[in-house]
Amino acid sequence: MNFSGWLEKRGGQDATKGWKKRWCTLSDNTFKYFKNDSDSSPAGIIYCEDIDEVAIHVQEVQKDISKHGFTFKIVTKGRTYLFNAVSNAKRDEWIKAIQDLISAHKEEPQTPTLLYTTVEIFCGQKPAIRVNGDISTELMMQLNSSTTKTIQDDRGWFAELSTTHTTILNLFNQHGWSLMTAFACSSVPSNSTTAAHSDMMILTKPNYK
């Protein structure tokens, strides 16, 4: 969306100073105001994700309708901005354009971050499993229900448990995890001081928070 035009802006952090003309634009999820329409650097930027409200500023309209009777406010988390248009129609156009920009920004699909966890399966004389990562409480409860011999240390959750790669993958898949890679390695189980052969799986899960 691209929208631009001249507005008057009331100065000061608390919008109590005088009114000055500003060239205002809407694009790229931002509301920018410039001292002149030829300026390349804005005098101020309001990001749409910071806007809590856009509405007619009734108090200003009632106080001085002859000069600034077409005022609207942009309320952010840290400040309230006052702008005045040349007519009711223009004011309403600006309010709608800003609201549409906010709605479009909220509807944009989020790009998730990835959560990672490692699952190490020891398949020797003492079968065991070690999980290290940000897994859900529900998944942890399911893992705990399979055994009573568990250890929690700085290397993760460890349990003496005989299982298969397929069983573990199916369980993690049910909770949204996907296998990224797997490889053979050697490490020390949490219940031993001697290194043992193991199979390491690295799993990922999209996080939309």
168-200 residue pLDDT tens: 999 999 888 999 999 999 888 888 888 889 999
Q: How many domains would you assign to the chain?
A: 2
pLDDT at 73: 93
The residue ranges of the chain whose pLDDT is under 70 are 1, 13-15, 59-66, 107-110, 208-209
| Host domain of residue 99 | 3-107
15-36 residue pLDDT tens: 678 889 999 999 888 999 999 9
Same domain, 67 and 124: no
pLDDT at 107: 63
CATH of the domain at 65: 2.30.29.30
pLDDT at 1: 60
How far is residue 77's CA from residue 74's CA, in Å, rounded to a whole number? Answer: 10
How far is residue 123's CA from residue 121's CA, in Å, rounded to a whole number? Answer: 6
How far is residue 66's CA from residue 45's CA, in Å, rounded to a whole number? Answer: 29
Pull the structure tokens for residue 205. Answer: 């899960």
pLDDT at 66: 58
pLDDT at 77: 84
Q: How many CB atoms lie within 10 A of CB 82?
A: 22
60, 83, 107: which is the final residue of a domain?
107
pLDDT at 54: 94
pTM above 0.85, yes or no: no
β-sheet with 156-159: strand ranges across: 150-153, 156-159, 128-133, 113-122, 196-207, 178-187
Same domain, 137 and 83: no
Coil, strand, or helix at residue 19? Answer: strand
How far is residue 18's CA from residue 30's CA, in Å, rounded to a whole number? Answer: 24
Burial label, 184 (beta-carbon count in 10 A; 0-12, 13-18, 19+) = exposed
DSSP 125: S
